[in-house]
C-alpha cells in the first residue's frame, strides 16, 4: 500500500511538472518575419522549455493591439511606443516590459522625379501616412519641422495610406510610409530601382521612436505569479530572436509555415528576416531608458498638437521582467 501511495504521489508530481501556464500574445501586424522571434520560440520548443503554452494571434489592418489588450483578448501585445503612450494617456495603463527592437525601421520613401530631396521640400507635397496608431511618429516629426499637416502651400497634404505601396506606384503621393524590412522592398519588387527613390529614415532624421515593444497592463503585471510567467516568456522570446538572427532562412521558413493566409512569399520573408535582424541585433530585450526619454520628448514636442500632452514618467516601463528573465 505504501508503494502505491508513493507511486500515486510521484505521478501527481509528474503531472504538475508537465502543467503549463497559458499566455496569449497579440501581434501588431500579420504573420511575417517582423515577428519571427516569437514563432521561432514556439516552433523550437523554447516556450515549452520554460513551462509556457503560448498562443500567437496575428494582427491586421482592422486590429489595434491596444484595444485587444483593453478588451482582455491578450495578455501581452507587440506595439509601437507612440501608440502605447498615447493609449496610456487616454486611460489604458500600458507598461513596456521588454524592447526586442532597439532601432527603428520606419522611413518615408519618395519618388526622385517628384523633386523631393530633403525635408525642406515636403511643404506643398502629398505624403502617404499609415493610421490606426501608426501616424504618431509622422505627426511628431512634422510638428518638430513646423510643417502643418492640413495641406496648403506651407503644409503637407496627408493621404491616409492603406497597408500597401499603391499611392507611390500610381503617383497619388510624392512620398509614402515604408518600413526598411517590408514596404520599401515592395516598391523595388514593383519595378522601381533605388536610383528612382529618395528615402528618409526616421533614425537618420533624429526623430525615431521605439517600435515593437512588449506591453502589458498594470493590472496584469500586478496579478499574483504573473511576473514570473512574463519573465519566462521574455527569456524564451529573446532566445527565439537570437536563433532567428543566427538562422535567418530557417526562421523565415518557420514564419511561412505559420502563415495561414498563404500570402507571404519565401523571397520576401527571407529578405525581411535579414532586415529585421539589423533592428534586433545586440538587444537582450532590455529597454534603454535614454531611448525611452528620446521617444517621450519627441512625442511631447508637437507644438499645439503633440502626440501626448504630459510626461508619462518612468511608470510606463519596467526593467523588472527583463532582469528576472536574465536570471533564468
pLDDT in tens, 181-218: 999 999 999 999 999 999 999 999 988 999 999 999 99
What mean pLDDT comes out for the span 302-328?
89
Task: Please give the Cα distance from 155 to 143 (Å, whole number).
Answer: 11
Q: How far apart are CA 264 and CA 31, in angstroms?
A: 8
CA-CA distance, 302 to 144, in Å (whole number)? 6
- What is the predicted pLDDT for the residue at 222? 97
> What residues pair up with 216 in beta bridges, in sequence order?
95
Percent of the chain whose pLDDT exceeds 90: 81
Instruction: Look at residue 304 in the predicted model and tell me its pLDDT.
Output: 59
Which of 19, 29, 39, 34 is CA-nearest to residue 60?
Answer: 29
Query: Please, which residues bridge with residue 76 across strands?
Result: 25
**CATH fold match for the domains 2-103+210-326 and 106-201:** yes
The per-residue pLDDT for range 301-310, each reduced to its tens digit, is: 866 567 899 9
Residue 74's pLDDT band (cuts 50, 70, 90): very high
What is the arithmetic mean of pLDDT over 138-154?
Answer: 89
Half-sphere exposure of 147 (CA within 13 A, CB side): 22
Architecture of domain 106-201: 3-Layer(aba) Sandwich (3.40)
State residue 131's pLDDT score. 84
The ranges assigned to domains in the chain are 2-103+210-326, 106-201
Is 2-103+210-326 assigned to CATH 3.40.190.10?
yes
Question: How would you classify residue 101: left for phi > 0, otherwise alpha for psi between -120 and 50, otherwise beta?
Answer: beta
Amino acid at each position: 500500500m505504501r508503494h502505491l501511495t508513493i507511486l500515486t504521489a510521484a505521478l501527481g508530481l509528474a503531472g504538475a511538472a508537465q502543467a503549463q501556464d497559458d499566455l496569449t500574445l497579440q501581434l501588431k501586424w500579420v504573420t511575417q518575419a517582423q515577428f519571427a522571434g516569437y514563432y521561432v520560440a514556439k516552433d523550437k520548443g523554447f516556450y515549452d522549455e520554460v513551462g509556457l503554452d503560448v498562443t500567437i494571434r496575428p494582427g491586421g489592418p482592422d486590429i489595434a493591439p491596444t484595444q485587444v489588450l483593453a478588451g482582455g483578448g491578450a495578455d501581452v501585445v507587440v506595439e509601437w511606443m507612440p501608440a502605447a503612450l498615447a493609449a496610456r494617456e487616454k486611460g489604458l495603463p500600458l507598461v513596456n516590459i521588454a524592447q526586442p527592437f532597439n532601432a527603428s525601421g520606419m522611413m518615408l520613401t519618395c519618388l526622385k522625379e517628384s523633386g523631393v530631396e530633403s525635408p525642406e521640400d515636403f511643404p506643398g507635397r502629398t505624403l502617404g501616412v499609415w493610421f490606426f496608431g501608426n501616424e504618431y511618429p509622422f505627426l511628431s516629426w512634422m510638428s518638430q519641422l513646423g510643417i502643418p499637416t492640413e495641406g496648403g502651400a506651407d503644409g503637407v497634404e496627408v493621404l491616409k495610406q492603406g497597408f500597401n505601396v499603391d499611392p507611390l506606384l500610381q503617383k497619388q503621393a510624392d512620398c509614402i510610409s515604408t518600413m526598411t524590412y517590408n514596404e520599401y522592398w515592395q516598391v523595388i519588387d514593383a519595378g522601381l530601382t533605388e536610383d528612382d527613390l529618395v528615402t528618409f529614415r526616421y533614425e537618420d532624421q533624429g526623430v525615431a521612436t521605439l517600435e515593437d515593444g512588449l506591453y502589458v497592463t498594470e493590472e496584469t503585471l500586478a496579478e499574483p505569479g504573473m511576473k514570473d510567467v512574463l519573465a519566462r516568456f521574455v527569456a524564451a522570446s529573446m532566445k527565439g530572436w537570437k536563433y532567428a538572427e543566427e538562422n535567418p532562412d530557417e526562421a523565415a521558413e518557420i514564419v511561412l509555415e505559420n502563415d495561414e493566409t498563404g500570402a507571404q512569399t519565401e523571397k520576401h520573408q527571407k529578405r525581411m528576416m535579414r532586415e529585421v535582424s539589423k533592428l534586433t541585433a545586440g538587444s537582450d530585450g532590455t529597454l534603454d531608458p535614454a531611448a525611452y526619454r528620446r521617444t517621450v520628448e519627441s512625442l511631447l514636442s508637437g507644438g499645439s498638437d503633440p502626440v501626448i500632452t504630459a510626461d508619462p514618467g518612468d511608470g510606463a516601463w519596467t526593467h523588472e521582467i527583463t532582469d528576472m528573465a536574465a536570471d533564468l
